[in-house]
Homo-oligomer: A and B are copies of this chain.
Amino acid sequence: MFPLPDPMRAALEAAQAAADAGEVPVGAVVVRDGAIIAVAGNAPRSLCDPTAHAEMRAIRAAARALGRDRLNGCDLWVTLEPCAMCAGAISHARIDRLYYGASDPKGGAVEHGPRFFGQSTCHHRPEVFSGIGEGEAAKMLRAFFADRR
């Protein structure tokens, strides 16, 4: 097996930390010029914030760090296919490239459901790469939901 790229490794670690905190295990990382500038895990319950998906938190942290509301020149790495909310945010933020791990037939909005980046109402489309770290990301999600049954 090939080793995972560092950003996906960091996203998977953030996903595991989310699981340890009782949240659905999803993690995300924003990279600029080869450096990780934001890492976040999914945290809607602990933050009392329905918008606190990993991608949203990483995007918000990166924008705050850069002092601007657009993340041109930045890539987002996330362990799970983004939902409609997060795909919309990725577009608004002008993310260059999106790398995600597991696909999400139930809630994904990139290759499922709205397929948002293909809509005429989507005004910025990142380049999309999927499947990196997919095995580990999916295993973590399965373990989380199995524990809760």
Contact = CB atoms under 8 A, between A and B. Distances in A.
Interface of A: 44-45, 47-52, 56, 59-60, 63-64, 66-71, 83-89, 91-94, 105-109, 112-116, 119-123
A67 B47 CA distance: 9
A67 B86 contact: no
- By DSSP majority rule, is chain A's interface helix, strand, loop, or mixed? loop
Contact of A50 (B47, B69, B120, B123): B69
A122 B106 CA distance: 8
B56 A51 contact: yes
A115 B93 CA distance: 21
A61 to B, nearest CB: 10
B87 A70 contact: no
A52 B69 CA distance: 9
Could you say which of A48, A84, A114, A115 has the most chain B C-beta atoms within 10 Å of its C-beta? A84
A70 B50 contact: yes
Nearest to A115: B114
A51 B56 CA distance: 7
A89 B50 contact: yes
